[in-house]
Chains A and B, each alone.
Chain A
């Protein structure tokens, strides 16, 4: 029974390994990927349903008792995120067939893609801080492979910076984990939470907390550590940008959410105050970046940053309402970012340029693409009835309830500016006079709309069907406020 918790990691890992050996036979590789992403989605959905109904599944690797061995903790939060990650993996797998050139497909795109999913699922599921580092490395090494895939000049130029910054933060992560081990003598998250609670969080532990925050803020693209993100996310092909934009930064946010709701919650006036300040700046600078450029892909990439700001704001406020908002926004943002990268990718392929000033009138020939983008834009900005609205509402309500009026207002204004930044794409790109050179690109968006539409269905469902998801999210948030819930479910025999 408890072995179920390892399946979300094991399935993509095995698929990835098998695909390495079959690499020469591309049609077979495509078929296996297509089947396995669907199987994986079905499996994790069943596990998630099981977890939400019957409570957390804890897997003790090798049957070592808890503080000594490695544990995988499939709690409702982790499973919801794993399911969302797998929804994106399905969409990306189907988008990849249509959008990637054969050269890139041959050079191990599918194995790396599967390993990335394995790493992301592992990072969500692990209950051990050092193991979190290991899964971070698994997903980062897969992402290093993906970001240079194809080997164009820009890709090499940007990926080198991406790799160095990630390597540096990984080393900082290891050092911080060893500091933490020296102070409290464990790396198991549940036991960490217990012991930090016992000794109360003094100066040393707060310093370690801030170091961990720097690590996760680098991975999650928070102010002032987001500078590496926009360019390195736009140089690889669309499907890889979508994978990165949807999954990688969210793993950083998830780690902050976990660590700062479970372990370091005894000195809120320092740690969570820092989170709030960072969130405010992240919101403002991210959206300024999105407004500053005419490159459509860069606009979407910059929009990752204020979204991270909202989630961190929810964690910083640290009330049940705001945390529920953060979780809801996390689910929403993973899906909408992938969808928008897909749509913009289709747009660029159709127009033959990513410069907004050279586009126009696409909606005349491609009405479906245009209206889907419109839905995506509204959902991103958080207009009802789409999914962004509920998360944002809860986060901002939490902020106002706890008296963070300035941040609440910043959040509201940012929301408007986000709408402006994406509606600009809609107005300049889709309206106006069509350009004649589009005709030759007619085939280029074939099959690219469907995966995006697939994701937008979930966006609409998260918005209109909030009644189905929201109670679960609220329960998760209520449990997060009290670390004892998590500790008990892991430490019990």
Chain B
């Protein structure tokens, strides 16, 4: 199971990196979203995937789910949710102000 999840995360990373390298702003944002999904999958996989076990550490219990990655992934999801929504608004305003959503046209130093 861990292997499949790792491969899946790897695919998400690949797709995310490919999308980040695109020129259109919206595609880049989709890329960052895919990347963060990949990272989250990684976190949950790294704590070992035990199904149907309680996340409790007490005397004598030998099989349990690790609660820490679940706490970490929650924090991380919330952060990436917030940043992604901010990015969408920023992309819209960038398009409005600069009149383009093509990264090729968003370079240069003509503000001097």
Contacts and interface: CB of A to CB of B under 8 A. Distances in A.
A181 B71 CA distance: 13
Interface string A339-362: 000000000000000110000000
Q: Which of A137, A152, A235 has the most CB of B within 10 A?
A: A137
B28 A156 contact: no
Interface string B33-52: 00110111011011100000
A355 B112 contact: yes
A170 B39 CA distance: 10
Contacts of B86: 141, 144, 163
B83 interface: yes
B90 A295 contact: no
Contacts of B69: 178, 181
Contact of B39 (A144, A148, A156, A171): A171
A449 interface: no
B65 interface: no
Interface in B69-112: 69, 72, 75-76, 79-80, 82-83, 86-87, 90-91, 93-94, 97-98, 106-107, 109, 111-112
Interface residues of A, number: 34
A157 B39 contact: no
Contact of A168 (B20, B47, B90): B20
A371 interface: no
B87 A178 contact: no
A126 interface: no
Interface in A147-169: 148, 151-154, 156-157, 159-160, 163-164, 167-168
Contacts of A164: 20, 28, 32
Contact of A179 (B46, B83, B94): B46
B43 A141 contact: no
A182 interface: yes
A134 B82 CA distance: 13
A432 B45 CA distance: 66
Nearest to B108: A157
B87 A153 contact: no
B35 A171 contact: yes
B32 A168 contact: yes
B7 interface: no
B8 interface: no
Given A148-B90, A156-B97, A178-B72, A167 B83 contact: yes
A146 interface: no
B94 to A, nearest CB: 4
A187 interface: yes
Contacts of B107: 157
Q: Which of B35, B36, B79, B93 has the most CB of A within 10 A?
A: B79
Contacts of B39: 171, 174-175, 178
Contact of B83 (A141, A156, A157, A182): A141
B68 interface: yes
Contacts of B83: 137, 141, 144, 163, 167
Contact of A235 (B25, B45, B111): B111
Interface of A: 130, 133-134, 137, 141, 144, 148, 151-154, 156-157, 159-160, 163-164, 167-168, 170-171, 174-175, 177-179, 181-182, 187, 231, 235, 295, 354-355
Interface of B: 20, 25, 28, 32, 35-36, 38-40, 42-43, 45-47, 68-69, 72, 75-76, 79-80, 82-83, 86-87, 90-91, 93-94, 97-98, 106-107, 109, 111-112
6 contacts: A133-B76, A160-B25, A160-B91, A163-B86, A164-B28, A171-B36
Report the 10 A-B pairs with minimum CB-CB distance, sorted nearest first: A182-B46, A154-B111, A156-B94, A178-B46, A178-B43, A174-B39, A171-B39, A175-B39, A157-B106, A137-B79
